[in-house]
Amino acid sequence: MKVNSSHAMLPHIDAYLVAHAIPQEFPYAYFSPGRINIIGEHTDYTGGLVMPASIDKGIQFYARQREGAALKLHAVDLNESFELALPVRPEKTGLLWVDYLAGIVYEFQLQGFEVPALEIVFGGNVPRGSGMSSSAALEGGMAFLLNEIVGAGISRPQLAVLCRRSSNSYIGVPTGIMDQFASLNGSPDGPIKLNCDTLQFSPVLANTPDCTWLLINSMVTHELGSSEYPVRVRECAAALAAIKQQYPEVPCLSQATKDQLEAVKNKLDETIYRRAYYVIAENERVHAMETALSRGDIARAGALLNATHRGLSDDFEVSCEEVDFLQQETINHFPDTVMGARIMGGGFGGCTINLVKTVGIPALKTHLLSAYFDAHGQRPEFYEVNIGAGTHAI
Ligand code: GLA
Protein backbone atom coordinates (compact mmCIF):
# COMPACT_ATOMS: atom_id res chain seq x y z
CA MET A 1 0.00 0.00 0.00
CA LYS A 2 1.45 3.37 -1.00
CA VAL A 3 1.66 6.26 1.40
CA ASN A 4 1.26 9.75 0.07
CA SER A 5 2.62 12.38 2.41
CA SER A 6 3.30 15.23 -0.01
CA HIS A 7 0.68 17.88 0.39
CA ALA A 8 1.31 20.88 -1.84
CA MET A 9 -1.58 23.35 -1.85
CA LEU A 10 -4.42 21.81 -3.85
CA PRO A 11 -4.59 23.62 -7.23
CA HIS A 12 -8.19 24.70 -6.79
CA ILE A 13 -7.40 26.35 -3.44
CA ASP A 14 -4.52 28.18 -5.07
CA ALA A 15 -6.80 29.31 -7.92
CA TYR A 16 -9.45 30.47 -5.45
CA LEU A 17 -6.95 32.61 -3.54
CA VAL A 18 -5.72 34.21 -6.74
CA ALA A 19 -9.26 34.84 -8.01
CA HIS A 20 -10.31 36.46 -4.71
CA ALA A 21 -7.04 38.39 -4.29
CA ILE A 22 -6.44 36.70 -0.92
CA PRO A 23 -2.74 36.88 0.07
CA GLN A 24 -1.11 33.46 0.39
CA GLU A 25 0.41 34.16 3.77
CA PHE A 26 -0.81 31.51 6.14
CA PRO A 27 1.27 30.72 9.20
CA TYR A 28 -1.03 27.78 9.94
CA ALA A 29 -1.58 24.99 7.41
CA TYR A 30 -2.99 21.52 8.15
CA PHE A 31 -4.19 18.44 6.35
CA SER A 32 -7.15 16.55 7.75
CA PRO A 33 -7.81 13.15 6.11
CA GLY A 34 -10.95 11.26 5.26
CA ARG A 35 -11.18 7.62 6.29
CA ILE A 36 -12.07 4.17 5.14
CA ASN A 37 -13.39 1.48 7.43
CA ILE A 38 -12.32 -2.09 6.85
CA ILE A 39 -14.72 -3.72 9.26
CA GLY A 40 -16.71 -2.89 12.39
CA GLU A 41 -19.63 -1.00 10.87
CA HIS A 42 -22.41 0.50 12.97
CA THR A 43 -20.65 -0.70 16.08
CA ASP A 44 -19.02 2.55 17.25
CA TYR A 45 -22.16 3.96 18.87
CA THR A 46 -22.67 0.64 20.65
CA GLY A 47 -19.24 0.82 22.31
CA GLY A 48 -17.82 -1.73 19.90
CA LEU A 49 -14.70 -2.39 17.86
CA VAL A 50 -13.91 -0.74 14.52
CA MET A 51 -11.02 -0.98 12.07
CA PRO A 52 -10.69 2.29 10.17
CA ALA A 53 -7.72 3.92 8.42
CA SER A 54 -7.00 7.54 7.56
CA ILE A 55 -6.40 8.06 3.85
CA ASP A 56 -4.44 10.42 1.61
CA LYS A 57 -7.60 12.24 0.50
CA GLY A 58 -8.88 14.94 2.81
CA ILE A 59 -9.20 18.64 3.49
CA GLN A 60 -6.47 21.27 3.59
CA PHE A 61 -6.87 24.17 6.03
CA TYR A 62 -5.00 27.48 5.83
CA ALA A 63 -5.39 30.03 8.61
CA ARG A 64 -4.11 33.37 9.89
CA GLN A 65 -5.13 35.74 12.66
CA ARG A 66 -7.09 38.86 11.66
CA GLU A 67 -8.54 41.98 13.22
CA GLY A 68 -12.11 42.14 14.53
CA ALA A 69 -14.35 39.71 16.34
CA ALA A 70 -15.32 37.17 13.70
CA LEU A 71 -14.06 34.14 11.83
CA LYS A 72 -13.87 34.77 8.10
CA LEU A 73 -14.45 31.37 6.53
CA HIS A 74 -13.93 30.38 2.89
CA ALA A 75 -15.24 27.03 1.63
CA VAL A 76 -13.30 26.78 -1.62
CA ASP A 77 -15.12 23.69 -2.93
CA LEU A 78 -18.47 25.44 -2.57
CA ASN A 79 -17.15 28.86 -3.58
CA GLU A 80 -18.84 30.29 -0.48
CA SER A 81 -17.64 32.60 2.28
CA PHE A 82 -19.16 33.36 5.66
CA GLU A 83 -18.38 35.70 8.52
CA LEU A 84 -19.04 33.96 11.81
CA ALA A 85 -19.33 36.33 14.78
CA LEU A 86 -17.39 35.48 17.94
CA PRO A 87 -18.15 34.16 20.43
CA VAL A 88 -20.17 31.54 18.53
CA ARG A 89 -23.75 31.28 19.73
CA PRO A 90 -25.48 28.00 20.66
CA GLU A 91 -27.96 28.37 17.79
CA LYS A 92 -26.97 26.97 14.40
CA THR A 93 -26.51 29.31 11.43
CA GLY A 94 -28.45 26.97 9.12
CA LEU A 95 -25.57 26.59 6.66
CA LEU A 96 -24.32 23.04 7.20
CA TRP A 97 -20.64 23.58 6.38
CA VAL A 98 -20.53 26.66 8.63
CA ASP A 99 -22.26 24.78 11.42
CA TYR A 100 -19.70 21.95 11.29
CA LEU A 101 -17.00 24.55 11.98
CA ALA A 102 -19.08 26.65 14.38
CA GLY A 103 -19.86 23.57 16.48
CA ILE A 104 -16.15 22.97 17.03
CA VAL A 105 -15.56 26.61 18.02
CA TYR A 106 -18.51 26.35 20.38
CA GLU A 107 -17.01 23.27 22.06
CA PHE A 108 -13.70 25.11 22.59
CA GLN A 109 -15.63 28.01 24.11
CA LEU A 110 -17.46 25.61 26.44
CA GLN A 111 -14.07 24.38 27.63
CA GLY A 112 -13.11 27.96 28.50
CA PHE A 113 -10.89 28.79 25.53
CA GLU A 114 -11.14 32.15 23.81
CA VAL A 115 -11.01 31.64 20.06
CA PRO A 116 -9.33 34.59 18.31
CA ALA A 117 -10.49 36.23 15.07
CA LEU A 118 -9.17 34.16 12.16
CA GLU A 119 -9.36 33.95 8.41
CA ILE A 120 -9.65 30.29 7.39
CA VAL A 121 -9.56 28.91 3.85
CA PHE A 122 -10.24 25.22 3.30
CA GLY A 123 -10.85 22.83 0.45
CA GLY A 124 -10.31 19.19 -0.31
CA ASN A 125 -10.49 16.18 -2.53
CA VAL A 126 -12.77 13.73 -0.67
CA PRO A 127 -15.64 12.82 -3.00
CA ARG A 128 -18.77 14.05 -1.24
CA GLY A 129 -21.41 11.50 -0.29
CA SER A 130 -19.00 8.64 -0.93
CA GLY A 131 -18.81 7.55 2.71
CA MET A 132 -15.18 8.64 3.19
CA SER A 133 -16.35 11.07 5.81
CA SER A 134 -15.53 14.53 4.58
CA SER A 135 -17.60 15.92 7.46
CA ALA A 136 -15.36 14.27 10.05
CA ALA A 137 -12.34 15.62 8.18
CA LEU A 138 -13.90 19.07 8.42
CA GLU A 139 -14.56 18.78 12.14
CA GLY A 140 -11.22 17.16 12.94
CA GLY A 141 -9.25 19.69 10.91
CA MET A 142 -10.96 22.61 12.61
CA ALA A 143 -10.43 21.10 16.05
CA PHE A 144 -6.74 20.41 15.33
CA LEU A 145 -6.25 23.94 14.02
CA LEU A 146 -7.91 25.61 17.01
CA ASN A 147 -6.04 23.34 19.41
CA GLU A 148 -2.75 24.54 17.90
CA ILE A 149 -3.69 28.22 17.63
CA VAL A 150 -5.15 28.63 21.13
CA GLY A 151 -2.53 26.29 22.64
CA ALA A 152 -5.20 24.17 24.29
CA GLY A 153 -3.02 21.06 24.52
CA ILE A 154 -5.92 18.66 23.99
CA SER A 155 -4.78 15.15 23.00
CA ARG A 156 -5.80 13.70 19.63
CA PRO A 157 -8.18 11.13 21.18
CA GLN A 158 -9.82 13.86 23.24
CA LEU A 159 -10.10 16.09 20.16
CA ALA A 160 -12.08 13.25 18.60
CA VAL A 161 -14.34 13.17 21.66
CA LEU A 162 -14.86 16.92 21.29
CA CYS A 163 -15.71 16.53 17.59
CA ARG A 164 -18.19 13.77 18.28
CA ARG A 165 -19.86 15.91 20.93
CA SER A 166 -20.18 18.72 18.42
CA SER A 167 -21.76 16.34 15.87
CA ASN A 168 -24.17 15.01 18.48
CA SER A 169 -25.18 18.19 20.28
CA TYR A 170 -24.46 21.12 17.98
CA ILE A 171 -25.22 19.51 14.60
CA GLY A 172 -27.73 17.09 16.10
CA VAL A 173 -26.67 13.85 14.37
CA PRO A 174 -26.16 10.91 16.77
CA THR A 175 -22.96 9.54 15.18
CA GLY A 176 -20.37 7.46 16.96
CA ILE A 177 -16.72 8.45 17.28
CA MET A 178 -15.10 6.30 14.58
CA ASP A 179 -14.77 8.84 11.76
CA GLN A 180 -13.35 11.71 13.77
CA PHE A 181 -11.09 9.36 15.72
CA ALA A 182 -9.69 7.75 12.57
CA SER A 183 -9.07 11.10 10.91
CA LEU A 184 -7.23 12.51 13.93
CA ASN A 185 -5.39 9.38 15.08
CA GLY A 186 -4.78 7.39 11.90
CA SER A 187 -1.37 6.12 10.87
CA PRO A 188 0.25 5.89 7.43
CA ASP A 189 1.38 2.37 8.37
CA GLY A 190 -2.06 0.82 8.19
CA PRO A 191 -5.49 0.58 9.81
CA ILE A 192 -6.08 0.82 13.53
CA LYS A 193 -8.27 -1.32 15.74
CA LEU A 194 -10.21 0.98 18.04
CA ASN A 195 -12.32 0.08 21.04
CA CYS A 196 -15.01 2.78 20.96
CA ASP A 197 -15.87 2.20 24.61
CA THR A 198 -12.39 2.72 26.10
CA LEU A 199 -10.84 4.60 23.14
CA GLN A 200 -7.84 2.28 23.32
CA PHE A 201 -6.40 1.61 19.90
CA SER A 202 -3.57 -0.31 18.29
CA PRO A 203 -2.10 -0.68 14.79
CA VAL A 204 -3.33 -3.57 12.64
CA LEU A 205 -0.63 -5.38 10.69
CA ALA A 206 -1.94 -6.23 7.24
CA ASN A 207 0.16 -8.75 5.40
CA THR A 208 -1.58 -8.52 2.02
CA PRO A 209 1.16 -7.63 -0.51
CA ASP A 210 -0.66 -8.13 -3.83
CA CYS A 211 -3.91 -6.59 -2.67
CA THR A 212 -5.39 -3.18 -2.19
CA TRP A 213 -8.58 -1.64 -0.85
CA LEU A 214 -10.74 -0.46 -3.72
CA LEU A 215 -13.77 1.72 -3.13
CA ILE A 216 -16.58 1.61 -5.67
CA ASN A 217 -19.01 4.50 -5.44
CA SER A 218 -22.63 3.68 -6.18
CA MET A 219 -23.17 7.45 -6.68
CA VAL A 220 -26.21 7.17 -4.44
CA THR A 221 -25.77 9.97 -1.92
CA HIS A 222 -26.99 10.02 1.62
CA GLU A 223 -27.21 12.39 4.56
CA LEU A 224 -26.89 10.71 7.93
CA GLY A 225 -29.31 13.03 9.67
CA SER A 226 -32.16 12.39 7.28
CA SER A 227 -31.47 8.69 6.78
CA GLU A 228 -32.51 5.88 9.11
CA TYR A 229 -29.17 6.20 10.91
CA PRO A 230 -30.74 7.81 14.01
CA VAL A 231 -33.36 5.04 14.01
CA ARG A 232 -30.61 2.39 14.13
CA VAL A 233 -28.98 4.21 17.04
CA ARG A 234 -32.30 4.10 18.92
CA GLU A 235 -32.91 0.45 18.03
CA CYS A 236 -29.49 -0.52 19.41
CA ALA A 237 -30.21 1.43 22.59
CA ALA A 238 -33.53 -0.42 22.92
CA ALA A 239 -31.77 -3.78 22.53
CA LEU A 240 -29.24 -2.86 25.21
CA ALA A 241 -31.99 -1.73 27.59
CA ALA A 242 -33.73 -5.13 27.23
CA ILE A 243 -30.48 -7.06 27.76
CA LYS A 244 -29.62 -4.94 30.80
CA GLN A 245 -32.91 -5.86 32.49
CA GLN A 246 -31.62 -9.40 32.77
CA TYR A 247 -27.87 -8.68 32.72
CA PRO A 248 -27.32 -5.27 34.35
CA GLU A 249 -23.56 -5.78 34.20
CA VAL A 250 -23.45 -5.53 30.37
CA PRO A 251 -22.00 -2.04 29.72
CA CYS A 252 -22.85 -1.70 26.04
CA LEU A 253 -24.51 -3.67 23.27
CA SER A 254 -21.22 -4.66 21.61
CA GLN A 255 -20.11 -6.36 24.81
CA ALA A 256 -23.23 -8.50 25.11
CA THR A 257 -22.82 -12.14 24.08
CA LYS A 258 -24.96 -14.10 21.65
CA ASP A 259 -26.11 -16.26 24.59
CA GLN A 260 -27.32 -13.22 26.51
CA LEU A 261 -29.16 -12.01 23.42
CA GLU A 262 -30.79 -15.42 22.95
CA ALA A 263 -31.86 -15.41 26.59
CA VAL A 264 -33.90 -12.23 26.12
CA LYS A 265 -35.04 -12.99 22.56
CA ASN A 266 -38.69 -13.53 23.48
CA LYS A 267 -38.83 -10.08 25.09
CA LEU A 268 -37.52 -8.36 21.96
CA ASP A 269 -39.28 -7.15 18.91
CA GLU A 270 -38.05 -9.26 15.96
CA THR A 271 -36.46 -6.22 14.26
CA ILE A 272 -34.60 -5.16 17.39
CA TYR A 273 -33.35 -8.72 17.80
CA ARG A 274 -31.89 -8.72 14.27
CA ARG A 275 -30.20 -5.35 14.83
CA ALA A 276 -28.60 -6.60 18.03
CA TYR A 277 -27.59 -9.91 16.47
CA TYR A 278 -25.79 -8.05 13.70
CA VAL A 279 -23.91 -5.79 16.14
CA ILE A 280 -22.70 -8.66 18.34
CA ALA A 281 -21.62 -10.72 15.33
CA GLU A 282 -19.88 -7.74 13.74
CA ASN A 283 -17.86 -7.13 16.85
CA GLU A 284 -16.57 -10.72 16.67
CA ARG A 285 -15.69 -10.22 13.00
CA VAL A 286 -13.35 -7.33 13.86
CA HIS A 287 -11.15 -9.68 15.92
CA ALA A 288 -11.32 -12.32 13.19
CA MET A 289 -10.32 -9.76 10.55
CA GLU A 290 -7.27 -8.70 12.53
CA THR A 291 -6.10 -12.31 12.64
CA ALA A 292 -6.82 -12.90 8.94
CA LEU A 293 -4.96 -9.76 7.81
CA SER A 294 -1.92 -10.43 9.96
CA ARG A 295 -1.71 -13.98 8.57
CA GLY A 296 -2.20 -12.77 5.01
CA ASP A 297 -5.28 -14.97 4.77
CA ILE A 298 -7.06 -12.91 2.12
CA ALA A 299 -9.71 -15.55 1.44
CA ARG A 300 -10.82 -15.43 5.08
CA ALA A 301 -10.62 -11.61 5.14
CA GLY A 302 -12.83 -11.50 2.05
CA ALA A 303 -15.33 -13.93 3.56
CA LEU A 304 -15.59 -11.68 6.62
CA LEU A 305 -16.32 -8.65 4.44
CA ASN A 306 -19.06 -10.58 2.64
CA ALA A 307 -20.54 -11.70 5.96
CA THR A 308 -20.61 -8.10 7.16
CA HIS A 309 -22.38 -7.07 3.98
CA ARG A 310 -25.04 -9.74 4.44
CA GLY A 311 -25.54 -8.56 8.01
CA LEU A 312 -25.77 -4.90 7.03
CA SER A 313 -28.14 -5.66 4.18
CA ASP A 314 -30.44 -8.30 5.73
CA ASP A 315 -30.33 -7.79 9.50
CA PHE A 316 -29.29 -4.18 9.98
CA GLU A 317 -31.01 -3.02 6.76
CA VAL A 318 -28.77 -0.09 5.90
CA SER A 319 -27.92 -1.06 2.32
CA CYS A 320 -29.81 -0.28 -0.88
CA GLU A 321 -30.45 -1.98 -4.20
CA GLU A 322 -27.62 -0.22 -6.02
CA VAL A 323 -24.98 -1.07 -3.43
CA ASP A 324 -26.21 -4.67 -3.14
CA PHE A 325 -25.86 -4.93 -6.92
CA LEU A 326 -22.24 -3.71 -6.83
CA GLN A 327 -21.36 -6.06 -3.99
CA GLN A 328 -22.88 -9.11 -5.69
CA GLU A 329 -21.58 -8.30 -9.14
CA THR A 330 -17.99 -7.99 -7.94
CA ILE A 331 -17.86 -11.12 -5.81
CA ASN A 332 -19.81 -13.28 -8.28
CA HIS A 333 -18.12 -12.25 -11.51
CA PHE A 334 -14.59 -11.63 -10.26
CA PRO A 335 -13.93 -14.25 -7.58
CA ASP A 336 -10.23 -14.34 -8.46
CA THR A 337 -9.86 -10.57 -8.13
CA VAL A 338 -12.33 -9.56 -5.45
CA MET A 339 -11.68 -11.42 -2.21
CA GLY A 340 -14.70 -9.81 -0.59
CA ALA A 341 -16.83 -6.68 -0.61
CA ARG A 342 -19.25 -4.84 1.59
CA ILE A 343 -21.08 -1.55 1.95
CA MET A 344 -18.96 0.97 3.91
CA GLY A 345 -19.87 3.78 6.27
CA GLY A 346 -23.27 4.96 7.45
CA GLY A 347 -25.06 3.17 4.61
CA PHE A 348 -28.06 3.89 2.36
CA GLY A 349 -25.70 4.52 -0.58
CA GLY A 350 -22.07 5.55 -0.85
CA CYS A 351 -19.25 3.12 -1.55
CA THR A 352 -18.49 -0.53 -1.27
CA ILE A 353 -15.06 -1.41 0.09
CA ASN A 354 -13.42 -4.29 -1.75
CA LEU A 355 -10.33 -6.29 -0.93
CA VAL A 356 -8.94 -6.83 -4.42
CA LYS A 357 -5.90 -8.24 -6.14
CA THR A 358 -4.42 -5.16 -7.79
CA VAL A 359 -3.70 -6.94 -11.06
CA GLY A 360 -7.39 -7.57 -11.76
CA ILE A 361 -8.63 -4.00 -11.25
CA PRO A 362 -8.68 -2.81 -14.91
CA ALA A 363 -10.92 -5.70 -16.05
CA LEU A 364 -13.18 -5.24 -13.04
CA LYS A 365 -13.64 -1.56 -13.80
CA THR A 366 -14.45 -2.17 -17.45
CA HIS A 367 -17.09 -4.73 -16.55
CA LEU A 368 -18.74 -2.67 -13.81
CA LEU A 369 -18.88 0.53 -15.83
CA SER A 370 -21.24 -1.13 -18.29
CA ALA A 371 -22.98 -3.63 -15.99
CA TYR A 372 -23.90 -0.99 -13.40
CA PHE A 373 -25.00 1.42 -16.10
CA ASP A 374 -27.24 -1.25 -17.64
CA ALA A 375 -28.77 -2.09 -14.26
CA HIS A 376 -28.99 1.33 -12.62
CA GLY A 377 -28.36 3.95 -15.29
CA GLN A 378 -25.21 5.37 -13.68
CA ARG A 379 -21.46 4.93 -13.93
CA PRO A 380 -19.75 4.03 -10.67
CA GLU A 381 -16.56 5.80 -9.62
CA PHE A 382 -13.50 3.90 -8.41
CA TYR A 383 -10.96 4.98 -5.81
CA GLU A 384 -7.80 3.02 -5.13
CA VAL A 385 -7.19 4.00 -1.56
CA ASN A 386 -3.81 4.99 -0.17
CA ILE A 387 -3.65 4.90 3.58
CA GLY A 388 -2.16 8.15 4.89
CA ALA A 389 -1.24 9.91 8.10
CA GLY A 390 -3.78 11.30 10.57
CA THR A 391 -4.28 15.09 10.82
CA HIS A 392 -0.97 16.94 10.55
CA ALA A 393 0.67 20.26 9.77
CA ILE A 394 1.70 20.82 6.15
C1 GLA B 1 -21.07 7.01 10.00
C2 GLA B 1 -20.90 7.57 11.40
C3 GLA B 1 -19.96 6.71 12.22
C4 GLA B 1 -20.34 5.25 12.16
C5 GLA B 1 -20.58 4.80 10.73
C6 GLA B 1 -21.11 3.40 10.65
O7 GLA B 1 -19.89 7.10 9.27
O8 GLA B 1 -20.40 8.88 11.36
O9 GLA B 1 -19.92 7.17 13.55
O10 GLA B 1 -21.45 4.98 12.97
O11 GLA B 1 -21.49 5.66 10.05
O12 GLA B 1 -20.17 2.50 11.09
Residue 4 has pLDDT above 60, yes or no: no
Amino acid at 105: V
The stretch 155-169 carries a mean pLDDT of 98
Q: Percentage of the chain with pLDDT > 70?
A: 97
CA of 309 from ligand 1 middle (Å) equals: 15
The stretch 168-185 carries a mean pLDDT of 97
- Residues 349-376 have pLDDT tens digits of 999 999 999 999 999 999 999 999 999 9
- The answer to whether 194 and 184 have CB atoms below 8 angstroms apart is no
- Residues 26-50 have pLDDT tens digits of 999 999 999 999 999 999 999 999 9
Choose which residue among 175, 197, 282 to substitute to test ligand 1 binding: the one with the highest number of ligand atoms within 8 A of its C-beta. Answer: 175
- Residues 256-315 have pLDDT tens digits of 999 999 999 999 999 999 999 999 999 999 999 999 999 999 999 999 999 999 999 999
Query: Active site includes 179?
Result: yes
CB neighbour list of residue 18: distance below 8 Å, 6 or more residues apart: none
Cβ of 67: how many Cβ atoms within 10 Å? 7
Q: Is 235 exposed, middle or buried (0-12, 13-18, 19+ CB in 10 A)?
A: buried
Which residue is catalytic, options 179, 297, 315, 324? 179
Query: Whose CA is closest to atom 2 on ligand 1?
Result: 175
The stretch 230-254 carries a mean pLDDT of 98
- Residues 84-120 have pLDDT tens digits of 999 999 999 999 999 999 999 999 999 999 999 999 9
Task: Give the domains, in start order, of the chain with CATH numbers.
Answer: 11-204+389-393 (3.30.230.10), 211-384 (3.30.70.890)
pTM of the model: 0.96
Residue 133 Cα: closest atom of ligand 1 = 7
At 1, the pLDDT band (50, 70, 90 cuts) reads: very low
At 3, the pLDDT band (50, 70, 90 cuts) reads: very low
Q: What is the pLDDT of residue 225?
A: 56
Q: Percentage of the chain with pLDDT > 90?
A: 94
CA of 207 from ligand 1 middle (Å) equals: 26
Residue 5 has pLDDT above 60, yes or no: no
Q: What is the pLDDT of residue 6?
A: 53
Q: Is the CB of 141 under 6 A from ligand 1?
A: no
- Residues 45-56 have pLDDT tens digits of 999 999 999 999
